[in-house]
Amino acid sequence: MGASPDICIRGAGIVGRTLALLLARERLRVALVAAPSPDPAASDVRAYALSPAARQVLEGVRCWPGEPAATPVLAMQVHGDGDGAVRFDAAAQGVPALNWIVDVPALERQLADAVGFQAGIEVLPHPVPAPLTVVCEGRVSRTRAELGVEFDVTRYPQQAIATRLACEYPHDQTARQWFTPEGDVLAFLPLGGPAGRQAAVVWSAGQDRAPELMALDDGAFAERLFELSGGVLGALHLIAPRACWPLVRAGARRWVGRMPGRPQASFALAGDAAHAMHPLAGQGLNLGLGDAAGLARVLAAREPWRSPADPKLLRRYERARQGDWLRMRLATDGLQQLFGRPGPAAAALRNWGMAAFDASGPLKSRIARLAMGTA
């Protein structure tokens, strides 16, 4: 790079690399701090539902993976714990896809390759001084703690279990989700392209049941999935190990500020370092990519004499992104609490509500477009 960087990004995950590419496109000099790569032989079962807005961000840096690593979702079926159900269709919304289920390892490889070819980005093993430091280290961020930023964490009484399945029947480009009487949430996300017969599984299970589920052998676990899904995809076989982690709702009390001991330097938080939410709406990475795009947009629009560390600029980013996060957090937290409430009266109310919402017309369309980032 030669000259000192304008911005140091701590964290080289999907959000950090995307932000680096967006900033380099604006001719800013970027230092990207990357931790040592994990064991390449280790299996990564992660897959994310990315919205049209997120796709636009990744296409802007030429890092959209395409099929079969990005499977377009033409329909989404949500089943309550009774007879309530909601269905969303891409055709009804006039869009080519509601979202895309993206294989995380494929996306990370594409971003890493793009960063390697970008002259304005220098990948470093350690942080370096810069006018602006952006923290993209994830939910457990050491830098955020060193900056003294408080991170409020509320634990849900659930743990997420993720794996991947081979299915007897094609997924028909349909994402499926079930809410159970016990308050669990099970999602099957289509993988492998339009004709694929694989699915990514995210099971938000009660914290008392999760250890039992993790202890089952693969055959018994697949049988439990078959029962909960009503056999909609036929016989199921695990093709990846299971991963498990606790579910939380979390948020930083401030997203921007001055660097301690360096009055002319500032910091900003982005992605999971700034916020975390329940995965039932599949919006976590969409929000993180929205952070990257929002910060890059604010910095690109600054006056030539204004430093990237200017607090006024950073507060614009903070206000805009906190608003989006708060709206999505309230929606996902409300759904989790609604379906986590026990008792027949609560079950009857929520399933009636699902049926009414499915028939609501303009309201349903509005919610769909908010989730797609196109409202």
Give me the sign of the Cα torsion angle 309, 110, 160, 347.
positive
Cα(275)–Cα(286) distance, rounded to whole angstroms?
12
CA distance 317 to 339: 33
Q: pLDDT tens digit string along 318-363?
A: 999 998 888 777 777 666 666 666 667 666 767 666 666 666 677 6
CATH number of the structural domain spanning residue 15: 3.50.50.60
Cβ contact 358:368 at 8 Å: no
Please tell me the least confidently modeled range out of 79-83, 165-169, 191-195.
Answer: 79-83
Nearest Cα to Cα of residue 105 among 3, 222, 28, 13: 13
What does the pLDDT read at residue 41?
A: 46
Is the residue at 342 inside a domain?
yes
Range of the domain at 38: 7-154+248-372
pLDDT tens-place string over residues 186-236: 999 999 999 999 999 999 999 999 999 999 999 999 999 999 999 999 999
**Domain-located, residue 196:** no
Q: In this structure, is residue 199 part of a structural domain? A: no
The tally of domains found in the chain comes to 1
Report, in this order, helix, strand and coil percent for the chain, each rounded to 5. Answer: 40, 30, 35
Rg (CA), the chain: 21
Region of residue 77 (phi > 0: left; psi between -120 and 50: alpha; otherwise: beta): beta
Alpha helical stretches, state H, the chain:
14-25, 52-60, 90-93, 104-117, 142-146, 210-215, 218-229, 284-300, 311-340, 344-358, 362-372
Query: Is 49 part of a structural domain of the chain?
Result: yes
Q: What is the pLDDT of residues 273-289, one digit of tens each?
A: 999 887 777 788 999 99
Q: Evaluate whether residue 276 is within a structural domain.
A: yes
- Residue 347 has a CB neighbour count (10 Å cut-off) of 18
How many of the other CB atoms lie within 10 Å of CB of 113? 11
Structural tokens at position 187: 């999602």
Q: Is residue 32 part of a domain?
A: yes
pLDDT band at 122 (very low <50, low <70, confident <90, very high): very high
Structural domain includes residue 272: yes
